[in-house]
Amino acid sequence: MRVLAAVDKFRGTATAHEVARAIADACWTTGHECVELPIADGGEGTLAALGGANRTLQVEGPLGAPVEAPWRFHRGIAVIEMALASGLQLVGGAEHNDVITASTIGTGQLIDAALNLGADRIIVCLGGSATTDGGLGAVQAITVPARLKRVEFLVACDVGTNFLDAAEVFAAQKGATATQIKFLSTRLAGTAEHYRQHLNVDVTAIDGGGAAGGLAGALFALGATLMPGFELVAEEVGLYEAIDDCDAIITGEGRLDDTSFEGKVVGGVTTLANQRQKIVHAICGDVHASARAQMKRLGLSATSLRETFGEDALTATTRCVEQAAVRWLTARGA
């Protein structure tokens, strides 16, 4: 049997590449071929799924301090994970963030660097931002924005939030008080008007414009196409063809819950597998009760490492993934 390991990271315990390799080891043990295909949903981990960083650039972090931001440039394709330049993790979390001054300048500097290297395709992955600046910092950091009109400019965007609602929906997660949220909302309205006047684009009219504190809307104003992150990654890594060429699929992510079927890896892979009438099984760190209804609807079976292996699921994740895969393959008559 030809098995496809199409898996996301298990946040905090194993990378997608490590999980895919553990499944490959299980296939080897049970006498099957395995195709390892680490994937992501457009947020954290997407850079790794699309080849990993092959360079770094010192940019201005979200609160002004310099950060060394990893990114990728290969054969004219740039991959930028905005969290690595303008992310909440860079300031130590919400409790250390200054939501009023937090800026996307660093992300804009990475885009500018890609343009300077002659990129003809730029992929920006959103998620994990510290910012609610409406992307103005990024726009101002791109020295000749008109150059973006000459490249294929794609943005992985998994939320439908309106530009003007970005503060109300997301700013509290970034450390904002109720008073600050009101201020940020007013500022976003002013930023939208700025884009309307200077770029002739209404960023409030695009679904998802409020992603990453409005950065999605700003990049759309510069000519970017907003795409569901899972679909973007699936196209880039050849997931559709890989599913066509396999007999069975093992997918997985750290936590399987109801949100896993809203543009994330397990839901996306399962849907594609069902469309192609392929066998699919999920191995996840934990399986929450909220996922059961969708699992039943899609005919998805799953292994919870926490339920099966207890604390080892956290301390020896890849070994548990391998054992879970062996058990599933064996149960199928491997």
pLDDT band for position 262 (50/70/90)? Answer: confident
pLDDT for the residue 263:
87
Q: 297-311 pLDDT, tens per residue?
A: 999 999 999 999 999
Per-domain boundaries in the chain: 2-39+237-331, 46-229
- Given a contact cutoff of 8 angstroms between Cβ atoms, the answer to whether 221 and 199 are in contact is yes
Please give the average per-residue pLDDT across 234-247, as a whole number: 96
Look over the chain and give the mean of its residue pLDDT values, rounded to a whole number: 96
Question: Is 333's pLDDT higher than 80?
Answer: no
In whole angstroms, what is the distance from residue 81 CA to residue 72 CA? 9
CA 172, 176, 179, 185 dihedral sign is negative
In whole angstroms, what is the distance from residue 308 CA to residue 281 CA? 15
pLDDT band for position 110 (50/70/90)? Answer: very high
Other C-beta atoms lying within 10 Å of the C-beta of residue 35? 18
pTM over 0.85: yes
In whole angstroms, what is the distance from residue 230 CA to residue 249 CA? 17
CA angle (66 as vertex; 138, 102 as ends), nearest 5: 45
- Given a contact cutoff of 8 angstroms between Cβ atoms, the answer to whether 24 and 58 are in contact is no
pLDDT for the residue 146:
94
pLDDT over 90 percentage in the chain: 95
pLDDT band for position 99 (50/70/90)? Answer: very high
Question: Is 334's pLDDT higher than 70?
Answer: no
Q: 5-57 pLDDT, tens per residue?
A: 999 999 889 999 999 999 999 999 999 999 999 999 988 889 999 999 999 99
CATH match of 46-229 with 3.90.1510.10: yes
CATH class of domain segment(s) 2-39+237-331 = alpha beta
pLDDT band for position 254 (50/70/90)? Answer: very high
User: Strand 55-60 and strand 66-74: pairing?
Assistant: antiparallel
